[in-house]
Structure 1
Amino acid sequence: MVVAKRRVVLLTGGSAGIGASIARELASQGFDLVLTARREDRLNQLAEQLRGLSEKHTTGDSGRSAIEVLVIPSALEDPSTPERLVAETIARFGQLDVLINNAGFGLPTLFADADPTDVRRQLEVNFVAPLMLSRHALPHLLERRGTIINIGSAISCVANSALGAYGATKAGLAYWNDALRRELHHKGVRVCLVEPGPVKTEFFSALEKLAPENGEYNPLLDAPAPWMSAQVDDVARRIVRLIEHPQRRLSVPRRVVWPWRVVGGLFRLWPWLGDLGLTTMTKHFDKKGDLNRSPSRSLGDARPTE
């Protein structure tokens, strides 16, 4: 076992989207990385890029060495994965300073049309895995007075009928995040929640390819206007900044997430208003057959809010 000189970050869902951008930002700042996702080829490609990025920031007279990147392909729905990830991290680096629970995926379809196996996998990856990873990592994070960053979603503010189970996992993650933060605050472990709104990644492009030809705009599933979407690299920088400057909740972009919270608050005050609006939209697009865009293959480590 080699004791790391730098801080070590374990990042899930690191093969694409926000996860890959977070990894690049961490590498540029000199963190050692443990990356996990399902797609081994993409992880290995990213790891090579990160090592090259680190070398560009390494100079002979600075005393700074290139970062180490450990790639661990894994399926987070496997109950044995969280313990294995932490064990392999400690075996390689001897410490763990930051855990970023980023992995997640959505099923863009009505709940009645969803495959039960996919629903269970979504629950395991989006909700169960972050809890169990954090539990196995806690002894090491307590020792290092480390940080846990959970990537939630602004979708939990308003129940979306096309992403109901996904939103439920993110709402549960937010509740647990707050409870864990209050539990660990006096012990020096910082716990932060990130609530992304729309972020420009490959996810919406994939959804658009699955939309009906010549179909009308679907606010339940289609990408919002460009001005509403955040740039992925900017989101990644703000997430990494939480390591040095923790916040209870980070909303990105604020111009979208905060109004969305207000809408959610109004719907809680007047539930009939939310029912009227969302039920009407659901009925309309269900008749058009545009509420099931689940592809035959997984959308990987992307999220509807990335």
Structure 2
Amino acid sequence: MQRFGRIDALVNCAGRSTRGKVADTTPEQFRDLMELNFIGLVRCTRAALPHLLARRGHLVNIGSLASKSAARWVGAYPATKFAVAAYSQQLRLELGPQGLHVLLVCPGPLARRDQRLHPLEGLEDVPPRARGPGAGVKVRQIDPARLSAAILRACQQRRAELVVPAKARWLFAISQLWPELGDWLVRRFT
């Protein structure tokens, strides 16, 4: 605000993923991850909201494929990203009529130089492939530059959601209509 005098867009893109079985995730681990992945996003949004509303601006919340479909071996992560999805929808419903554009971005794993693995300590029951980016999901890693361009286009079109890869929408639809089949597909592709 001090430098440009206005806020046209806010991109909430911070967080971290975890590995482990959800049943083994402690309440403290849930709270810590929720604080980082969701409550931090809420705080930033609330700080920028008056400015975004004044400009009929864009709020971009970076979720994950896990915002729409929980995967195995990622502990509390999907719960935090489902919260991001619900919050985004609520803001869209409540503040969309006042001109706020809310975009939920649900990307798969991003290609990056740092291909570090989550430590295996305490994860003996988690398959080794689940330690890498995307927790072993069988989806091609996404080029960050291409994702950025797609986000910009989605903002220009004032879209509600951007799912990358787009074919993941089929899984989300199937899971809503036929949860047992959706679960089978998630097990098969993770």
CA 224–202 in structure 1, closer or farther in 2 if over 3 Å, else same: farther
- For the pair 1:245 / 2:154, whether they are aligned, the reply is no
TM-score (norm 1): 0.51
The C-alpha deviation readout for 1:8-67, integer Å capped at 9, x for no partner, is xxxxxxxxxxxxxxxxxxxxxxxxxxxxxxxxxxxxxxxxxxxxxxxxxxxxxxxxxxxx
The aligned residue for residue 182 of structure 1 is: 93
- Structure 1 CA distance, aligned partners of 2:144 and 2:57? 25
CA 94–241 in structure 1, closer or farther in 2 if over 3 Å, else same: same
- For the pair 1:207 / 2:117, whether they are aligned, the reply is yes
TM-score (norm 2): 0.78
**What is the SS of the residue equivalent to 1:92?**
coil
- For the pair 1:149 / 2:60, whether they are aligned, the reply is yes
CA 102–216 in structure 1, closer or farther in 2 if over 3 Å, else same: closer
Unaligned runs of 5+ in 1: 1-89, 283-306
How many angstroms does 1:246 deviate by? Answer: 1.6
How many angstroms does 1:231 deviate by? Answer: 1.8
Structure 1 or 2, whichever has the larger Rg, is 1
The aligned residue for residue 274 of structure 1 is: 183
How many angstroms does 1:247 deviate by? Answer: 0.5
- For the pair 1:222 / 2:105, whether they are aligned, the reply is no
Letter of the structure 2 residue corresponding to residue 141 of structure 1: L
Q: CA RMSD in A?
A: 3.3
Is 2:138–2:189's contact at 8 Å kept on the other side of the alignment? no
Letter of the structure 1 residue corresponding to residue 135 of structure 2: L
Q: Which residue of the other structure, out of 172, 176, 186, is the alignment partner of 1:261?
A: 172
Q: How many pairs were matched up?
A: 184
CA 192–92 in structure 1, closer or farther in 2 if over 3 Å, else same: same
**What is the SS of the residue equivalent to 1:236?**
helix
- Structure 1 CA distance, aligned partners of 2:105 and 2:11? 10
Aligned identity (percent) is 32
CA 159–244 in structure 1, closer or farther in 2 if over 3 Å, else same: closer
Letter of the structure 2 residue corresponding to residue 186 of structure 1: P
- Structure 2 CA distance, aligned partners of 1:126 and 1:176? 12
Q: Which residue of the other structure, out of 45, 48, 61, is the alignment partner of 1:137?
A: 48
Letter of the structure 2 residue corresponding to residue 127 of structure 1: F
Is 1:103–1:126's contact at 8 Å kept on the other side of the alignment? yes
How many angstroms does 1:121 deviate by? Answer: 2.5
CA 234–281 in structure 1, closer or farther in 2 if over 3 Å, else same: closer
- Structure 2 CA distance, aligned partners of 1:157 and 1:192? 14
Unaligned runs of 5+ in 2: none
